[in-house]
Homo-oligomer: A and B are copies of this chain.
Amino acid sequence: MGGLTAIGFDADDTLWQNERFFRLTHDRFAALLADYAAPDHLMARLTAAERRNLGHYGFGIKGFTLSMIETAIEVTEARVPAAVIADLVAAGREMLEHPIELLPGARETVEALSGRYRVLLITKGDLLDQERKLAQSGLGDLFDGVEIVSHKTAESYAEIFARHGEGADRAMMVGNSLRSDVVPMLEAGGWGVHVPHELTWEFEAAEEPTDAPRYLRLARLAELPDALDRLAG
């Protein structure tokens, strides 16, 4: 694999915890609306609202907060007290302030590959929120480029790796989402490396592309440098 020149890393739940904070907010949402609906029903309605609103809001905490508010009104048939809505607004804002928790091996792995490859951070979500997390992570200086995108598609990977490297076929994308990080990168002709996280938003699920020759699955991010050596050797 002498041809590999660029490696893109997903951010949320690849380099640092993210879904954990959504799950904590889910629990808070369920507790606040416990008088109106059972937790399972609430989560199903919230997920439906998130999917329905994705085309309007895109990914990120602000859209998630608006979907929580919409769901709270919906399941209570507009009987939810404004104080509960205020709590949901506050819950969303606390998510926007949560401290960054790097995942094991994140810094070491990016450090080991930075300099040897063009190393990019490629993430979706709210612009300001992702910038804040990158700044707090302390990893900012390790990346040759940062791309915050509205969608991760084969086209967006082709465009990003053409601009930052020598094209997607000489590039690799590493992330916890089969749907966003792996499958479209394989479609773009590059390498797709799946590093599963114990918590992954169901929207990010996809069938594992086990037969794709450029697909790799690693149990831990820290295995990436050795895997690259094996592929090159």
Q: Is the CB of A76 within 8 A of B66?
A: no
Interface string of A60-82 (1 = CB under 8 A from B): 10110110011011001011111
Contacts of A148 in B (CB 8 A): 127
Q: Is A96's CB within 8 Å of the partner chain B?
A: yes
* CB-based closest 4 A-B pairs: A58-B128, A62-B62, A78-B82, A128-B150
Q: Is the CB of B126 within 8 A of A58?
A: yes
Q: Is A23's CB within 8 Å of the partner chain B?
A: no
Q: Is A16's CB within 8 Å of the partner chain B?
A: no
Q: A70-B89, A82-B82 are in contact. List 16 more A-B contacts (CB 8 A).
A: A56-B97, A57-B96, A57-B128, A58-B127, A62-B63, A65-B66, A69-B89, A72-B82, A73-B82, A73-B83, A73-B85, A73-B89, A78-B81, A78-B86, A82-B85, A128-B150
Q: Is A93's CB within 8 Å of the partner chain B?
A: yes
Interface size class of A (residues with CB under 8 A): 35 or more
The complex places the Cα of A58 from the Cα of B63 at a distance, in Å, of 13
Q: Is A149's CB within 8 Å of the partner chain B?
A: yes
A190-228 residues with Cβ-Cβ distance < 8 A to B are none
Q: A127-B148, A149-B127 are in contact. Are A66 and B92 (CB under 8 A)?
A: yes
Q: Is A108's CB within 8 Å of the partner chain B?
A: no
Q: Is the CB of B82 within 8 A of A76?
A: yes
The complex places the Cα of A83 from the Cα of B74 at a distance, in Å, of 10
Q: Is the CB of A82 within 8 A of B83?
A: no
Contacts of A81 in B (CB 8 A): 78, 82
